[in-house]
Amino acid sequence: MDALGVVVNPIAGMGGRVGLKGTDGKLTEARERGAEPRAPERAREALTSFSRHASDVPVYTAAGIMGEFAARDAGLEPRVVYDPRDESERAGESADTPPDPTVDPADAETTAADTRRAVRALLESGVDLVLLVGGDGTAVDVAGVLENEPDGQTPMLGVPAGVKIYSSVFAVTPRDAGRIAAEFERVESREVNDIDEEAYREGEVRSELKAVVPVPVAPDVQSSKQLSSGSVDALAAGFAREVEPGRTYVFGPGGTVGAIESELGIEPSPLGVDVWRAGSADSEGGGDRNTATDGEIDGDGNLDDGQLLATDAAEADILDVLESPVTVVVSPIGGQGVIFGRGNHQISPAVLEQVDEIVVVADEEKLAEIPALRVDTDDEAINEELRGWQRVRTGRFTTRLVKVV
């Protein structure tokens, strides 16, 4: 490769931990809730990995928080080809005098139009690969420009930083993205998908194919998200039988976990995170299955046999109500196998540090599509702790051991 192009969406993923399930049209609210940017750090991680494998390859990017800062932090000397603040002065020139490094990435006012203009500038500079840092929306913006190239498409590769990642153009982790960008030898056609965030916030997934683009071939490029259609009733019933009195349960998003919540008498947040504490062993209707029988919730949020502590919760909400012992229940994303770091950013490293049990659930049909489980939190120490063999509950009594890589 003769040159790498980099474009960063600095606000990608900011809505995740604060429970907004995305940032489209919600940036102000995300900031009001205390959201912090994650894309710049993930860009730095990807470019640090790239520099280890291809230190002599020039990097072209956009000014400041759209790529330049991350590249410099990674020890690179980027060539700035687009500046959303002052295109006339800096476009196409080397950044001998970088912009004010005190600019807070969380206060960036870049737009999708800036992303598209930056990609056009990268293509004019002759880059061989566009490395984007963002989510599905950013991928759509990049692909829209690439599809209009007159002389064939330049390949693209995503560094996952958004809340929702339904496209198959993203590497599994930022480190993977950097290595793949440096070492790839061929490409294949992959799908760029996006969903309606407003419908997503209401619990409905409306996925739409937006583009088909060339992407580097590598085992660490994730598949498109797939939804399993198999029944999980037996799995949910088996889990409910084993609920531990007095334990706090953090239920992640998805239909499989939602079935467990329904079995417990909880109205699930299909695409959100709920926190529930099981009732005591001597509560009415107790026995070996401490669950709510009719799901009735009184004004204080108390279930017949447990207490619903938070619904569709942000990271701060979860941390406010956690009380040991704590179990997190998650299901891997179909086709990808990610259990933390996709669609459930609310279950953050700070939350995971207070958890003493992680339960992964998936029916056999879904698990058959997943060669391994993956984690992609923003804390490498947490990622390392999570790696290894994980028992996955697949039915009423059955489990399987699956490797977390």
**What is the reported pLDDT for 270?**
76
Work out the burial of residue 302: count CB atoms within 10 Å of its CB; fewer than 13 is exposed, 13-18 middle, 19 or more buried. Answer: middle
For 21-46, the pLDDT digits (tens) are 455 555 455 455 555 667 889 999 99
The torsion angles phi and psi of 217, rounded to 5 degrees, stand at -85, 120
For 227-266, the pLDDT digits (tens) are 443 357 889 988 998 999 999 999 999 889 999 999 999 9
**What is the reported pLDDT for 198?**
60
For 345-403, the pLDDT digits (tens) are 999 999 999 999 999 999 888 888 888 999 999 899 999 999 999 999 988 878 888 99
**What is the reported pLDDT for 395?**
85
- Band (pLDDT 50/70/90 cuts) for residue 333 is confident
Closest by CA position to 256, among listed 281, 228, 218? 228
Is the Cα torsion angle 248, 253, 259, 261 positive or negative in sign? positive
Question: Which residues have C-beta within 8 Å of that of residue 346, sequence separation ≥ 6?
Answer: 16, 17, 18, 19, 272, 273, 313, 314, 315, 317, 318
For 73-107, the pLDDT digits (tens) are 999 999 999 988 754 444 444 444 455 454 444 44
Determine if the peptide bond prior to 325 is cis (ω within 30°). yes
- Band (pLDDT 50/70/90 cuts) for residue 291 is very low
For the ranges 81-95, 235-249, 291-305, 314-328, which has the lowest average pLDDT? 291-305
**Quick one: average pLDDT of 297-316?**
72
CA distance 286 to 68: 60
For 131-163, the pLDDT digits (tens) are 999 988 899 999 999 988 877 789 999 999 876
**What is the reported pLDDT for 150?**
77
**What is the reported pLDDT for 364?**
83
More confident residue, 223 or 125: 125
Do residues 95 and 80 lie in contact, with contact meaning Cβ atoms separated by under 8 Å? yes
Do residues 136 and 195 lie in contact, with contact meaning Cβ atoms separated by under 8 Å? yes
CA distance 311 to 389: 30
Checking if the pLDDT of 325 tops 50, the result is yes
Q: 3-state secondary structure string, 157-191? A: EEEECCCCCCCCCEECCHHHHHHHHHHCCCEEEEE
The torsion angles phi and psi of 144, rounded to 5 degrees, stand at -60, -35
Mean pLDDT of the chain: 81
More confident residue, 284 or 44: 44
Largest CA distance in the chain: 73
**Quick one: average pLDDT of 154-176?**
88
How many residues does this entry show for the chain? 405
- Band (pLDDT 50/70/90 cuts) for residue 63 is very high
Do residues 10 and 40 lie in contact, with contact meaning Cβ atoms separated by under 8 Å? yes
**What is the reported pLDDT for 106?**
42
**Quick one: average pLDDT of 274-278?**
96
**What is the reported pLDDT for 320?**
96
Q: Which amino acid is at 141?
A: D
pTM for this model (two decimals): 0.60
Give the count of beta carbons closer than 10 Å to the beta carbon of residue 88. Answer: 6
Residue 18 DSSP symbol: T
> Does residue 142 sit in helix, strand or coil?
helix
Closest by CA position to 173, among listed 391, 382, 400? 382
CA distance 344 to 254: 10
Checking if the pLDDT of 61 tops 50, the result is yes
For residue 356, give both structure tokens: 């003493």
> Does residue 197 sit in helix, strand or coil?
helix
**What is the reported pLDDT for 111?**
85
Name the residue with tokens 């399993």.
228
